[in-house]
Structure 1
Amino acid sequence: MSLTKKQQEKLEYSGYRFVGEHGHSAAKICHWQKKSILNEGVCYKEKFYGIESHRCLQFSPAVPFCNQKCSFCWRDLSLTETEWDGDYDDPKTIIDEAIAAQTKLLCGFWGNDKADKKKLEESKKPTNAAISLAGEPTFYPEIDELIGEFNRRDFNTFLVSNGMNPKKLEELENEPTQLYISLDAPDEKIYKDVCNPQINDGWNRLNETLNFLNSYDSRTCIRTTCVKGKNMVKAEDYGKLLEKANPTYVEIKAYMCVGYSRERLTLENMPTFQEVKDFAEEICQYTGQKIINDSEISRVVLLK
């Protein structure tokens, strides 16, 4: 099921630009891309992994589709569908149009005296695809070919998934540069409370994904979004899950009280940077990992 014209217009008002004919793919300028072009800072992914913020394409091939309605998600969850229904656009089309849409969205910066013109010119040729804008990207029927097409164009690809479609992830022939899996609870009870799954076996599916993660040849990363008063507990249980997945990296990141999440959570649920660091240190006690990097402004620490 694609979004209606009215639903698309609502999202376009907030900065989305839909591409293709079937209303399931979109691009959106990232906050940090704007900051980078103005030389006012960069995304923590540039600090952690060398990804240039001004050359990053924030994009999704499955905007309306997700099988969770996480309490901390900044997106409008009233638009979420749990099963793909209908036709879809091919990977080449949505990539070409997403790049064109982003370039058009950035055109206003050419009139800004503070904008870095070299970065603006480079932004026309993005080198990283953050497949994470909205929805669960593994719902897109041609996700494997989409990653393959990005790879052929010499993109880095950061695929962010909730792990609810383990078979799709396990059978990818074209692996992303880095696969992110969200792990936002130490046990099933907290998982159901925080992630609000729309399917009955979400916790089992997530664990199935964690079980095969170590078989990936590419880099893998577990990301935990910390919601104060909700899931910053049971560090030992997080440790056991991380030991099973054996990811290349772990990101422990604060929930940020922005967007539609403010309808479900409050500022009191947003941990401080120090609280995130303390919780990360606690998890490290059970995994043997260490904090190797951090970004205070984004309230995130990197473990390895």
Structure 2
Amino acid sequence: MKTSLNEGEIKALEKKGYRFAGKYKHAAAKVCHWTKKSLVDEGVCYKEKFYGIQSHRCLQMSPSIPFCHQKCSFCWRDTSITKTEWNEEFDDAKTVIDDCVEAQRNLLCGFFGNARVNKKKIKEAQDPKNAAISLAGEPMLYPDINELISEFNRRNFTTFLVTNGMTPEKLENLDDEPTQLYISLDAPNKTLYNEVCQPQINGGWELLNKSLELMKSFNSRTVIRTTCVKDLNMQLPEEYAKIITKTDPDFIEIKAYMFVGSSRDRLTFDNMPSNKEVLEFAESIAALCGRKVKDHAHESRVVLIE
């Protein structure tokens, strides 16, 4: 049986905390840093602060670990394993969800022996209620993405779907919407987009803008997320503002690039902006859009504009 990743690639990711789902090994879960922090009452994810989800009940997963249209310079993942097309067999949505939930439970089992753990939270964590569909890869490339979101909805999950915007036709034809749709806007124009995101397909910038223009048609909460890399894409706030004004998302997240993972092979520590720099950049964009900064999660260096 041919799997999406070879044995060596799977083992390398498992060492990093990934646990794979299904027999074809294209989906996986990984316990988020903030889930662990929340379980011992040492903090929560900015998504709890901004949007009210519970960090200890969040399932961080992806149905498409090795598949993405881009090889972003700031990505903390190993983009050398990234494939741009999905020609392999795949597991159905129910299997992916069942196995990811079970994997999360297994990864958290050690917390039952931790004297500092919040006993109520660790019990609730066995039954996650939010799916952060953003661990790695591009979720919209999963052939059964429609059913994945529908199945999560049937199980009373909230879903935070993060996409790079390269598949506007799939976004347009989702049967069920996620609770929150994120589209990444990591450059203010085509030239910088090609430099920062390094698309592996033709017409990436045009596809991204088509997806952004679809945001108004969604009933779900919509968010534009910008990962800020100092000395690279933290420029031309007026061009970001023009795109934001045109596409009119509910929220904008301006988030710092973090010098972690495989991105350290491509960028330097100096590319990581400070909290102050992120806030100032966010304030400049907000003012140009006629919006305001609503919140700021200092620990994650992310600013929320509404």
Q: Please give the alpha-carbon distance, in whole angstroms, between the structure 1 residues aligned to 2:91 and 2:118.
A: 34
Query: Which residue of 265, 272, 284 maps to 2:274?
Result: 272
Deviations 1:31-71 (A, max 9, x none): 00000001110000000000100000000000010010001
Q: Structure 1, unaligned stretches of length 5 or more?
A: none
Q: Please give the alpha-carbon distance, in whole angstroms, between the structure 2 residues aligned to 1:144 and 1:290.
A: 34
SS of equivalent residue, structure 1 residue 297: helix
SS of equivalent residue, structure 2 residue 254: strand
Deviations 1:1-33 (A, max 9, x none): 700111111100100000101110000000000
Partner residue, 2:50? 48
How many percent identity over aligned positions?
A: 60
2:241 partner amino acid: G
Query: Which residue of 126, 129, 135 maps to 2:128?
Result: 126
SS of equivalent residue, structure 1 residue 8: helix
Q: Please give the alpha-carbon distance, in whole angstroms, between the structure 2 residues aligned to 1:83 and 1:105.
A: 30
Deviations 1:155-187 (A, max 9, x none): 000000000111111111110000000000000
Partner residue, 1:74? 76
Q: Please give the alpha-carbon distance, in whole angstroms, between the structure 2 residues aligned to 1:153 and 1:215.
A: 25
Q: TM-score, normalised by structure 1?
A: 0.99
Query: Which residue of 94, 110, 124 maps to 1:108?
Result: 110
Q: Please give the alpha-carbon distance, in whole angstroms, between the structure 1 residues aligned to 2:44 and 2:164.
A: 25
Q: Give the drift of 1:226.
A: 0.4
Show the 5 A alignment for 1:7-26. 7-26=9-28
Q: Give the drift of 1:244.
A: 1.6
Q: Please give the alpha-carbon distance, in whole angstroms, between the structure 1 residues aligned to 2:87 and 2:26.
A: 11
Q: Give the drift of 1:199.
A: 1.0
Q: Give the drift of 1:200.
A: 1.8
Q: TM-score, normalised by structure 2?
A: 0.98
1:255 partner amino acid: Y
Q: Please give the alpha-carbon distance, in whole angstroms, between the structure 1 residues aligned to 2:13 and 2:63.
A: 15
Q: Please give the alpha-carbon distance, in whole angstroms, between the structure 2 residues aligned to 1:216 and 1:245.
A: 11
Deviations 1:93-128 (A, max 9, x none): 110110000000000111110111111110000000
Partner residue, 2:137? 135
Q: Structure 2, unaligned stretches of length 5 or more?
A: none
Q: Give the drift of 1:211.
A: 1.2
Query: Which residue of 240, 249, 253 maps to 1:238?
Result: 240
1:296 partner amino acid: H
RMSD between aligned residues? 0.7
Query: Which residue of 249, 273, 285 maps to 2:251?
Result: 249
Q: Please give the alpha-carbon distance, in whole angstroms, between the structure 2 residues aligned to 1:286 and 1:126.
A: 39
Show the 5 A alignment for 1:98-247. 98-247=100-249
2:282 partner amino acid: A
Deviations 1:254-302 (A, max 9, x none): 0000011000111100101110110011111221110011101111110
1:258 is the counterpart of 2:254: no
Q: Give the drift of 1:243.
A: 1.1
Q: Please give the alpha-carbon distance, in whole angstroms, between the structure 1 residues aligned to 2:214 and 2:12.
A: 38
Query: Which residue of 286, 289, 295 maps to 1:287?
Result: 289
Q: Give the drift of 1:245.
A: 1.4
Partner residue, 2:37? 35
Q: Please give the alpha-carbon distance, in whole angstroms, between the structure 2 residues aligned to 1:297 and 1:45.
A: 12
Q: Please give the alpha-carbon distance, in whole angstroms, between the structure 2 residues aligned to 1:77 and 1:39.
A: 34
Structure 1 segments of 4+ aligned residues over 6 angstroms from their partners: none
Q: Please give the alpha-carbon distance, in whole angstroms, between the structure 1 residues aligned to 2:248 and 2:172.
A: 15
